[in-house]
Amino acid sequence: CLAHFNQLCSGSCNWGEDLFIDQCMQKVLGARRDSDWTLLSEEHCIPDARHQQDWLLCNDGRAAFHPFKTEDSYRACLSAAGAPLPPP
């Protein structure tokens, strides 16, 4: 994927890891995207304004959490989700 997009963009495409893997899976590997909005707890995947900050709670049974920009905030999320914490 990296070589493909470096050629397509004439260098780095300046994407984050989420867009890179999305485009890699679809455009290069031919994977079909099936959106299941119940798996990921993420700021941009909120059902309505009343639940705008719910993604930060990490306690609704979701399988993955994104984005947490600091180790402390990510570890707090894992703890709230009931996940075993990896060593620091």
Share of the chain above pLDDT 90, in %: 32
pLDDT of the residue at 13: 93
pTM of the model: 0.59
Name the burial class of residue 25, with classes exposed (0-12), middle (13-18) and buried (19+) by CB atoms within 10 angstroms of its CB.
middle
Residue 64: strand pairing partners: 40
Which of the four pLDDT bands, split at 50, 70 and 90, describes residue 7?
very high
Helix (H) or strand (E) holding 65: strand 64-65
Mean pLDDT of the chain: 86
Which tokens is 9 given?
């963009």
Q: State mean pLDDT over 43-54.
A: 73
